Homo-oligomer: A and B are copies of this chain.
Amino acid sequence: MSLIVQKFGGTSVANPEKIKAVAARVLGYVKKGHRVVVVLSAMAGETNRLVALAQQMQDQPDTREMDVLLSSGEQVTVALFAMAVKEAGYDAVSLLGDQVKIITDAMHTKARIKSIDTGLVTRNLDQGRVVVVAGFQGVTEAADITTLGRGGSDTTAVALAAALKADECEIYTDVEGVYTTDPNVCANARKIDRISYDEMLELASLGAKVLDIRSVGFAKRYKVPVHVRSTFTKTQGTMVVEEDKNMESMLVSGVTYSKNEARITLSKVPDVPGVASKIFTPISEAGIVVDMIIQNTRAGEMTDMTFTVPRPDYKRAMGIVSGIVSGIGAGDVTGSEQIAKVSIVGVGMRNHSGIATTMFRLLAQEGINIQMISTSEIKISCVIDEKYTELAVRTLHDGFGLHQVGKPAKGKATACKKK
């Protein structure tokens, strides 16, 4: 008999029928004697409906009130879910963020969890109830409602699992788990059985949408075993766990890509101290997050500076940079929205050299030019022309042998069929 936290997203609870189906699934665990805490998101579409209402009231909706508004979405789902459990003859109780006492900071719409009081949840579990917690929401010490931002229900689930010392946190979603790459791009993408927290962190930050990155951070810090699996099948999904020896034998665990960035290049920037600060301070002050920055040395006292920004911020960033270019004595400003970032991730990289070389060679063999490179201990990212994205993903996926279970790549298999 174990204690399990199970989180279901908006598509899993999109309507009364789906809520009943999820309740039946949860009761399968209860009938086996498990203690279950369920964390739910708002019904699919509800958050967007509420945001649209807010935008009719205020151009930039007040964030405190936005949180009051948005948190009503999860409130509806948990009440309906508790009813479904009761209708099936079992006991249940819904709890909101402020009832559980999920205490957060006061950064409305993107609050961070500071502490969770497990008392009320535990007391209800002890009384044999299914405890249904509203995801995505918390409360400040001053009793203001907060929300945790996109993917916040994942964070609620993992944080609750950590606080309750649960045996496992199951994240139910509309895919079967974490894949070696996007199955929509590469038909023979393979479900990963086990992946380390660090790899999952990189995959989440590099565009894999299956799990919110903050929840992975929580899971890593508190060593919560996370099971990412499908709401619609019984098959085992992906276990996100601590690194083990077996993982290290895989050089590369996954290939990911993002088309959400744009590139800006300043040419002939004077290579003097302080120039980078002059460029990036106004961008940062405009709330634009710069991802990669690369500086190429030129002959003489000039340098070229290239960086990427989120694509929705591209025009604003270009405007800011164009405004300062003459002030710092730089040359042209050029840029492109037609770029993509393709990345490989794997803890095995730590102990193997030559992974980067293989990546560059695989891309070169397909005639794909690399515009920028960024690396960490367990990932390598390349910025390329957007039109080559899918080709690059397939090439790297099969080049590193990710379609073959448990077989580290030698860089030649090409089983991935173009869709």
Contact = CB atoms under 8 A, between A and B. Distances in A.
Interface of A: 16, 19-20, 50, 53-54, 56-59, 61-62, 64-66, 68-69, 71-73, 75-76, 78-80, 82-84, 86-87, 93-94, 96, 98-99, 143, 145
A62 to B, nearest CB: 5
Nearest to A81: B57
B58 A68 contact: no
Given A65-B86, A94-B68, A96-B68, A16 B57 contact: yes
A75 B96 CA distance: 13
A58 B75 contact: no
Which residue, A19, A59, A87, has most C-beta atoms of chain B within 10 A?
A: A87
State the copy count for this chain. Answer: 2
Contacts of A66: 79, 83
A30 to B, nearest CB: 17
Contacts of A64: 93
B57 A76 contact: no
A97 to B, nearest CB: 12
Given A19-B57, A143-B99, A71 B75 contact: yes
A141 to B, nearest CB: 13
B53 A65 contact: no
Nearest to A57: B83
A379 to B, nearest CB: 40
A380 B151 CA distance: 62
Given A61-B83, A62-B86, A99-B143, A75 B72 contact: yes
9 contacts: A19-B57, A57-B83, A57-B84, A58-B83, A58-B87, A65-B79, A65-B80, A65-B94, A72-B72
B54 A80 contact: yes
A68 B86 CA distance: 15
A143 B69 CA distance: 20
